[in-house]
Structure 1
Amino acid sequence: MQEDTKNPQLTSTILWLMAVLSGLVVANNYYNQPLLGLIAADFEVSESSVSKIAVLTQIGYACGLLFIVPLGDKLWRKRLILTDLALVILALLFMAFAQQLNGLFIASFLIGVTSVIPQLFVPMAAELSSPEKKSVNIGMVMSGLLIGILLSRFFSGVVGELWGWRTMFEIAAGMMIIAWLLVYLYLPDLRPNFEGSYGSLMQSVWQLAKTQPVLQLASFRGAMGFGAMSAVFTTLVFHMEGEPFHAGSSIVGGFGLIGAVGALAAAFVGRLAQRFTRYQLIYYALLILLLSWVFIYFGGYSYWGLIIGIILIDLGLQSSHIMNQSDFFALPINATNRLNTVYMVSYFIGGSLGTYLGAICWQYAGWAGVCFVGTLFSVLAFVAHVLLGRRSVASL
């Protein structure tokens, strides 16, 4: 490893590498969603029981964000990423060979904890970018991450239907071995910018969360937006198993391909930063997120309604997500990993809450209950931005 590298250059090759690897690693968190029906049938348990797999993965991811990502400011980045990738491989193999439902729960949590490497790449791209390129480069890495999330559902749905759900996690472990080799061979290193103890590092994370209004608002918007999307994607497989669709896991996973349209469009939102303020871009992104629920609810029993709704929900969420990160990375604070930790922990706590409430409302109120949860979360994000967005910009 090149520990003497002081100022590595963010070449297009490195940027593409971070984007592709972000998609491959983050996908580990989402392979389970189209497979929940297959897992429930295999273990002969209810759908609500196996939905804990998705919840625990997201909770695990939030824990990894909180306890691992801040180390990007304290340790050499490349060594941290290689160590974490080795742990990801072990967690995926545990998932593939677990014979008890509780084993799946533990493995899912560990997959979430260790699959946080993309959130080391995003601050890395921000640190190595010039101010005028920051939003564009963040958007590039985020586009890889988001496409990985969306394509993972399609890929796992097809693999699960053809070869069984365990095969998907065996394939994922193989892809992580390739990712480890690519990081070892090509990724540059970044010098740490924090010299204190781990305890003081974590204390500084809490201090940033308490004292930075821009970060607080971005974290709330992100949490509510991701909670809205998680509610629909976690329950979509159950919704489409029934009338009028009677669809299998591969069809449900195909909605990941549809959502990729929105994610790809969102990747270009950074290019609009020269024409619109961040406040305006987030405002319109959250409006699109709200609009998506009109189609998901009223057209929720037709393919056309779900297709339009899924495209819009991904476009709105991912556009606001990229601009949220651009918002707090603009703060004059040399703590990019810790800032991103606060934001992403909030983001995935929101996702876990959306998954949990979506599953409960599905059980008691069906698709209408899921849409209520998603709409409520979207409204909360929009109202918070309208009431507090301009004030947080003024505090910069």
Structure 2
Amino acid sequence: MSNAASKAADRSGAEGLGSALTILFALSCGALAANLYYAQPLVSLMGADLGLPVSAESSIVTLAQVGYALGLVLLVPLGDIVENRRLILVTMGANLVCLAGLALAPGLGAMFAAMLLVGTSSSAAQMLVPLAANLAPEAERGAVVGNVMSGLLGGILLARPVSSFLADYVGWRGVFGLSAGLIAALGVVSLFLLPQRQPDGERGYLGLIRSLGRLFVTEPVLRRRGLYHAAIFAAFSLFWTAAPIVLLADPFDFSPSGVALFALAGVLGVFAAPVAGRLADRGYARIGTVAAISMVIGAFLLATFGTSLVALVVAAVAIDLGAQANLVFGQREIYRLAPNIRNRLNAVYMTTFFLGGAAGSALASPVLQNFGWLGVCVIGMALPGAALVYFALAEGTGD
């Protein structure tokens, strides 16, 4: 896209999204992203139902996140060359079909395949975020992205308590069936309200995909921000995959509804997104990043007092606040790079840190089984600790 075309695209959104469209974007992003996390407190129920060994239960969540990463790489970049409204609606339709398949899965193979595809098609959420950024005026872009991301993050954070609570009444299959209904309803509304946006990109699909690796190599801000949040999101996923397993066992012996109440503590993290967006607009992204990463480290230090439910609740809140704030700081920085490739920038950023999240989820069960909750906390501190060291080195040298 030429500079003139880029400016025209920015001018087209100079009036912002408006309240109705902002709410639709936020709700749709939240509902789609929640699909990756409904399974987190349900892995024990799903594993028992389908005959999955306890040591492999966290692979259910990992597979959804790997699928999401695939969607970020293979589908989200299409937003730079394909009309955005059509792309989003088609991907949401595919998500509906995959959720129905997951709810009806007869065995492990079908469940794993459906979970992978649910994750892949849930990447429609990351087609909506750059569209919102393109519709927003430059001076308000951080605030607009923060508002939309508050919906996405709300979906992530509410997914755990909602699925835990509903599982007591409709089982794990019913949770995904209800999610399919929600996506269907939002798809119908989007059919009428979602604006069209035809990008000017002329690159073919294979060239588009090949450009992702080059962006990671040639854009230091994108690379740094992706790796910072990969470490943070790995710690986030490690905590939220391991914590329900701990709470369901002795000495807590929580029911799924009890785990749901615990997970509600993390919902406070949703308030970090709009605040972080506004701070980033005012030039506080660097200091905000240090504060967010440090908050996650401190939270895991507090969580070492694993026999204290109060300590775990406070740690959960702090981990979610730090992770969500750092995510928005990163997005605000990468969206400043080039308006005509925002879908690809978003795809590389999200893919990088979701692979970190998948690694964190995969580690949860084996680390918990072999090293206990203390092992989880040590790794949870080490990951953001490494990010903080990298930040100090990279931001100091500018690379």
CA distance in 1, matches of 2:71, 2:300: 31
Deviation at 1:333, TM superposition (A): 5.0
Give the C-alpha shift of residue 359 in structure 1: 2.1
Separation in 2, partners of 1:265, 1:344:
18
Question: 1:270 Cα deviation (Å)?
Answer: 1.9
Measure the CA separation in 2 of the matches of 1:68 and 1:158: 32
Is 1:147 matched up with 2:123? no
Q: Which amino acid aligns with 1:287?
A: S
Kindly provide the amino acid, as one letter, of the partner of residue 375 in structure 1.
Answer: M
1:379 pairs with one of 366, 371, 385: 385
Residue 210 of structure 2 corresponds to which residue in structure 1? 203
1:325 maps to what in 2?
331
Q: Does the 8 Å contact 2:88/2:128 carry over to 1? A: no
Does structure 1 conserve the Cα–Cα contact (< 8 Å) formed by 2:38 and 2:163? Answer: yes
The residue identity in structure 1 corresponding to 2:127 is L
- Aligned residue in 2 for 1:185: 192
Q: CA deviation at 1:275?
A: 5.1
The verdict on how the C-alpha distance between 1:274 and 1:167 changes in structure 2, with shifts beyond 3 A counting, is closer
* Aligned AA (2:183): M
1:288 aligns with 2:283: no
The code of the aligned residue for 2:363 comes to: L
Instruction: Give the drift of 1:220.
Output: 0.1
Q: Does the 8 Å contact 1:358/1:373 carry over to 2?
A: no
Establish whether residue 27 from structure 1 lines up as the match of residue 38 from structure 2.
no
Shift of 1:391: 4.0
Q: Which moved more, 1:270-279 or 1:340-349?
A: 270-279
Shift of 1:193: 2.8
Aligned length: 388
- Corresponding residue for residue 366 of structure 2: 360
- What is the distance in 1 between the residues matched to 2:349 and 2:45? 33
Instruction: Give structure 1 stretches of 5+ with no counterpart.
Output: none
* Match status 1:170 vs 2:177: yes
Provide the rounded CA distance (Å) in 1 between the counterparts of 2:257 and 2:272.
Answer: 24
Residue 46 of structure 1, aligned match among 50, 53, 57:
53
2:84–2:197 CA contact under 8 A, matched in 1: yes
Structure 2 residue corresponding to 1:344, chosen from 347, 350, 357:
350
Aligned partner (choices 86, 101, 104) of residue 111 of structure 2: 104
Partner in structure 2 of residue 236 of structure 1:
243
Cα separation, 2, equivalents of 1:68 and 1:87: 12
Amino acid at match of 2:98: A
Deviation at 1:18, TM superposition (A): 0.4
Q: CA deviation at 1:292?
A: 0.8
How far off its partner does 1:278 sit?
1.4
Q: Whole-Å Cα distance in 2 between the matches of residues 326 and 390 of structure 1?
A: 20
**Could you tell me how far apart the structure 2 residues matched to 1:254 and 1:385 are?**
35
Aligned residues of 2:93 and 2:187 also touching (Cα < 8 A): yes
TM-score normalised by the chain length of structure 1: 0.94
Alignment check: 8 A CA contact 1:52 1:105 kept: no
Would the aligned equivalents of 1:153 and 1:254 in 2 still touch at CA under 8 Å?
no
Deviation at 1:277, TM superposition (A): 2.6
Identity %: 35
- Is the contact between residue 272 and residue 324 of structure 2 (CA under 8 Å) also seen in structure 1? no
* Structure 2: gaps of 5 or more residues: 1-7
Cα root mean square deviation, aligned: 1.6
CA contact (8 A) 2:71 2:120 kept: yes
Question: Counterparts of 1:316 and 1:276 in 2: how far apart (Å)?
Answer: 18
Change (3 A) 1:95 1:372: same
Counterpart selection for 1:313 from 310, 319, 322? 319
Asked if the contact 2:41/2:164 (under 8 Å) is kept, the reply is: yes
Query: Matched residues in 2 for 1:67 and 1:233: separation?
Result: 27
Moved more, 49-58 or 137-146: 49-58
- Provide the C-alpha distance between the structure 2 equivalents of 1:98 and 1:367, rounded to a whole number of angstroms: 32
2:3: which partner in 1?
none
Question: Equivalent residue for 1:157?
Answer: 164
Which of residues 125, 137, 154 in structure 2 aligns to 1:130? Answer: 137
Contact (CA 8 Å) 2:52, 2:108: kept in 1 or not?
A: no
